[in-house]
Structure formats: structure tokens, C-alpha cells
Amino acid sequence: MILIAIVIGCILGAVIGISAPMIPYTYSGYLAIAIIAALDSVFGGLASTVNKNFDLKIFVSGFFGNAILSILLTYLGQKLNVDIYLAAIVVFVGRMFNNLAIIRRYYLEKWTNRNQNQTQEQTTGEEK
């Protein structure tokens, strides 16, 4: 069910995105930072799913809140002539790597566990 929703959402989003009008270049910087924030939330969500403590409220609020906050910070930085978006990128990308590492470890563990089980089964079978 969730997978279907994700697939349909992705296709729909892609279609909408392609057919949507182009944004002015000035605002594409804000959009990029918002995308990074959203992606960070998505990876965070994936990681929490893997850890089995996924909370929809936290995910949705993080998804939108981070995006909006990062846009606001970028805007503020532009007003102050400080590249605040760099800090946002560093934080978000760092967290993304952390989350990716969690996911990777989980699946690696799972994989190694399965391999071990298989070998154990094989060895037990041979013993039998």
C-alpha cells in the first residue's frame, strides 16, 4: 500500500514538475535548499523506519518545517550578505549521510545475518 502510494506520488510529482512553469533563476536557490531539506527529512524517515520508530507527525512536520525554515534562513542570509545556505547544506547533507549510514548498516546486518543463517542451515543440513 505504502509502496503503491510512493510510486504513484513519484510519477504524479514528476509529471507535475515537468509540466510546471519554470521558476525564475533568482528563486531556484531557495528551491534547491528546500529540496535538500526535504530530502534530509525523507532519509531521516527512512532511517527511522529502519529503526522502527517512525512517526508520521515528526516526518511531515520535519519535511515542511525544515524546507520552510531553510528557505527563510537563506533569505535572511541574502539580506545579511552571509551565506547561511552553506551552513544549511552542511547540516542537511551531513544528516543525510548519517541516515544513509544507518540504513546501510541495517541492510548490511540483515544481509550478513541471512548469509550466516544460510550457511548455518547448510551446515546443519550436511550434519544431518
Partner 1 sequence: MQKEKKDYIVMSIIIGVVCVILLAVMFMQFKTVEETDITAIENMREVELRTAISEWKTKYEETAEKLEANRKLIKDYQEKIEKNEETSSLIDYDLKESDMILGKTDVYGEGVVVTLEDNSECKVTYSDLIELINELRYAGAEAISINDARIINMTEISQPNGVMTINSETRVHSPYVVKAIGNQTYLSSTLNLKDSGFIDTCRARGMTIKLEQVKNVPILKYNGEMKTKYMMKGEEKE
Distance, in Å, from the CA atom of 51 to the CA atom of 121, rounded to the nearest integer, reads 27
Task: Please identify, using beta-carbon distances, which residue of 8 and 108 lies nearer to partner 1.
Answer: 8
Q: How far is the CB of 128 from partner 1 (least distance, A)?
A: 42
Task: Please identify, using beta-carbon distances, which residue of 23 and 100 lies nearer to partner 1.
Answer: 23
Contacts of 58 (CB under 8 A, 6+ apart): 48
Distance, in Å, from the CA atom of 104 to the CA atom of 67, rounded to the nearest integer, reads 25
Interacting residue ranges for partner 1, rule: CB under 8 A: 1-2, 4-6, 8-10, 12-14, 16-18, 20, 22-23, 25, 28, 31-32, 34-35, 38-39, 42, 56, 59-60, 63
